[in-house]
Structure 1
Amino acid sequence: MPLRIFLVEDNPLIRQSMQEMLEEVLGAQVVDWADGEAAAIGAMRRAAWDVALVDLFLVQGSGLGVARAFEQRGAGQRVYVLSNYATPSIRERCAALRIDGIYDKSTELDRLLEALGQLQRL
């Protein structure tokens, strides 16, 4: 069964590129997406997903708010943050919210793909 991914990304070009990459490289299925905090929380509560890929800066609210809403989640569900602002302080805040990983969009996509590939093999 393909990995079911929920994207939380406000930039349409990045969102489309991420979806294409995830589907082509991993054979994953992007089940839904949202561009704001409230929309993401509502849609993620209704959708079946294995992994949420969350941007920090959204059109409304923040990715940290999304992560906070899913601190308690299913045992098989993972939340990863993708950001151009993966600073040490942001990484600390993410760790405090039980985020499973934070990746810089510009330099760490290969590490993200590696982590997602490992999840598929579980």
Structure 2
Amino acid sequence: MIIRVFLADDHRLFRDGLKRILAETSDIVVVGEATDGLEALKKMRHGGWDVALLDVSMPGMNGLEVLKRIMTDDAKHQVLMLSTYHEDEYAIRTIRAGASAYLTKNSPIDLLISVIRRLANGGKYIDPELAEKLLFDLGPAASIPPHSILSDRELDVLKLIAVGIPLTEISQKLALSAKTVSTYRTRILEKMNMQNNAQLVRYVTEHKLME
């Protein structure tokens, strides 16, 4: 059986590299690609693919938003989320949103290919440590870290603020208006009960959200 893969990532070098790697397999072929979330959602809705590989962070509409919308169309879609983020927070969000698997971009190629094949056969893949965290991280609300209540986009903005990127540049990076980014910042401060960016930076550092 030939596995038809759809690939969405805004970095051309990564897409081209992954296509070359998959081209060396006998049973996997890339049948479509996209450079941003909106393009990905539009093309994915046309069908013709078995497994979709989505980058978590894409301009305009991030991978998580694409995932949620495509799963609303059909919860049986097989989607593998790829990310440069190694922390569990993103992985947990994607799995809860309906992803069949989550891998970081520095994962071994053999594992990536194995996971694609598993998904094509209707299976799922989850890191054992992450599976345990999902199963047992059911403590009282008081123990939930403040950043857990942020939306996916708010978490993106929080991390960009934490590395010192001005709101105007954040708006360009995420393809949002400056006013919208400012609104996100206000919501983040309110939800996390903080007063300024310095507190946000300290929080992100202490909780190692950028690792």
Q: Do both share a fold (TM > 0.5)?
A: yes
* 1:92 CA displacement: 1.1
Change (3 A) 1:96 1:118: closer
Change (3 A) 1:95 1:23: same
Aligned letter for 2:115? A
Quick one: distance in 2 between partners of 1:2 and 1:44?
18
- Structure 2 residues not aligned, in runs of 5+: 123-211
Equivalent residues of 1:37, 1:58 under 8 A apart: yes
**Residue 24 of structure 2: SS of its match in structure 1?**
helix
Task: Tell me the percent identity.
Answer: 27
Equivalent residues of 1:26, 1:117 under 8 A apart: no
Quick one: distance in 1 between partners of 2:56 and 2:11?
12
Which is richer in strand?
1
Aligned letter for 1:111? L
Q: Which has the larger radius of gyration?
A: 2
For residues 8-48 of structure 1, what are the alpha-carbon distances to aligned partners after superposition, in whole Å with 9 as ceiling and x for unaligned?
11100100111111121353121111111111111101131
- Structure 1 residues not aligned, in runs of 5+: none
- Between the two proteins, the alignment pairs up a number of residues equal to 121
**Residue 21 of structure 1: SS of its match in structure 2?**
helix
Quick one: distance in 2 between partners of 1:49 and 1:117?
13
How big is the alpha-carbon RMSD for the aligned residues of Structure 1 and Structure 2?
Answer: 1.9
Aligned letter for 1:91? A
Give the stretch that moved more between structures: 66-75 or 87-96: 66-75
- The aligned residue for residue 62 of structure 2 is 62
Give me the TM-score of the superposition, normalised by structure 1: 0.87
* 1:117 CA displacement: 2.8
Quick one: distance in 1 between partners of 2:38 and 2:120?
28
Quick one: distance in 1 between partners of 2:117 and 2:23?
12
Which is richer in helix?
2
